[in-house]
Structure 1
């Protein structure tokens, strides 16, 4: 079974890399856009920080997985799975990056339900803290965005809640005893003595979003020098808020087209050309960072595997 899953995982990984290449070609990148030293600097900043963020973002998911499974899963086992599954977001459907994380369940012989529930918690807190930071940065301008997108957010949010509630209802009926057992076990994960570890996972995304906001602000300052301080702060919040809209909107993986729209709505047409360039640079940096994190995960996993082999075997 594990061998079959590994083969499937490799096939999906190759397909994901093919879609990554396709995405880069679809961006219609012009080399002339990067002759400006500031634009190139923004790309490098985005690439480096995003790579670090992706590698570190395994941590909260791992914390939730440890808490729900009751197992001390090493970071060395989770990080390569996380960075590889992160590439699957380029596959059509925009859900395979979450399904791919369940490879950890097969690798560590833990319940797939534990890993899936940990992924749900991971996504919920990621969205929550992104919303908190973006609203704080947008200030009074958030009211205009909410009035424009409230219906879409309401419908998509209600649909997501209804789907999750329906799935839980069906599972609770069909697997009543197992469902009760999981609820009982998960309640222990939220016990007082386990809360400090859970809180580390919960608040990780607050720190990550602060780092991301600083990165976006700095890149905006480099690419859109015409904007004043208040505009730069608002544009940073708009870029982050647009991620939420793109995340919950079906058919818009990565918020393609949405980020430009939200940012232009916030600042008008004052810096339209530079904003489009900024979004392009962030996308290019993000895609390359995803690939870089994947390669680092592969190298890391290979070194860990070699270190576990007896010296005689390595010779």
Structure 2
């Protein structure tokens, strides 16, 4: 009951903040005009965002390979792109479920399939925290030390969870618990473990966040001129907003949470109307890229 109340409070607070921000800056938002060059930049932003999701599918293949599962890269990138759009369904888990089922159908062990989709958001969270710590100029001096320490502790915690020593022990414990609950004790679970730290997938997720951040920066650039010195600020702010959209369970695909966080962080450094418009446009860019990726994966599967 308390969990449901908390979810509704977070959702209500997010919607109220977005509505108030739009109401207070509606006149300025209405005056923003996108010229032909701006539309071309938005098209490039959509292409880069599509590339980011394709790259994320490749990183998922790396995760499965770290778990000693020989998989076809092109096939699993297609699976990733086709299931990605399901994250907007209520529950925010159906894209993971689709990937697990597709991996099982491709003869990937159930344990490896499940662990791969559990590792992916952890790797993404670690990558986002790294970028936030490197580009945390949006933090005010009053809260800088507290937030920096909290982010650093969070990053160290995630990195420790990803360590094979911890992860393998947790996996073996879960396997033993599952075996005890199983009706048949004659079947022993296949040992599942990481042989080394998943450094390559972590670096891959850094690339994913960099590409997503580039798409957001280009979306903002389509509306307003930018300086190179503002890039770290925007990349850090985007990564933090994207991270909150990832971890807040009431927001399928981070819908609403990402926008509210990005506006709150960046409106002190850019005109609020520009930030509001950019976050709304970037949501459209993201959905178009994800839908296009799913469509292209489906066509590629059917034609080739």
TM-score, with length taken from structure 2: 0.70
Task: Find the counterpart in structure 2 of residue 234 from structure 1.
Answer: 233
CA distance in 2, matches of 1:178, 1:131: 44
Contact 2:219 2:281 in 1 (8 A): no
Pair 1:75–1:37, CA change in 2 (3 A): same
Task: Please list the CA deviations of residues 245-297 of structure 1 after superposition, one character each: whole Å capped at 9, or x if unmatched.
Answer: 12112312314144344443344285000101111111111000001100111
CA distance in 1, matches of 2:279, 2:192: 44
Matched, 1:221 2:225: no
CA distance in 1, matches of 2:287, 2:206: 23
CA distance in 2, matches of 1:71, 1:114: 8
Pair 1:72–1:168, CA change in 2 (3 A): closer
Task: Find the counterpart in structure 2 of residue 285 from structure 1.
Answer: 285
Pair 1:146–1:109, CA change in 2 (3 A): farther
1:250 counterpart SS class: coil
CA distance in 1, matches of 2:192, 2:270: 55
Pair 1:261–1:54, CA change in 2 (3 A): closer
Task: Please list the CA deviations of residues 99-122 of structure 1 after superposition, one character each: whole Å capped at 9, or x if unmatched.
Answer: 110132332122222111011222
Pair 1:209–1:113, CA change in 2 (3 A): same
Quote the RMSD (CA, aligned, Å). 3.7
Paired residues in the alignment total 258
Q: Which has the higher contact order (CA 8 A, sep 6+)?
A: 2
* 171-180 vs 212-221, which moves further: 171-180
2:136 counterpart SS class: helix
Question: Unaligned stretches of 5+ in structure 1?
Answer: 1-29, 305-315
Task: Find the counterpart in structure 1 of residue 272 from structure 2.
Answer: 272
Structure number with higher helix proportion: 1
Task: Find the counterpart in structure 1 of residue 295 from structure 2.
Answer: 295
CA distance in 2, matches of 1:60, 1:267: 33
Task: Find the counterpart in structure 2 of residue 86 from structure 1.
Answer: 84
CA distance in 2, matches of 1:242, 1:81: 26
CA distance in 1, matches of 2:285, 2:250: 22
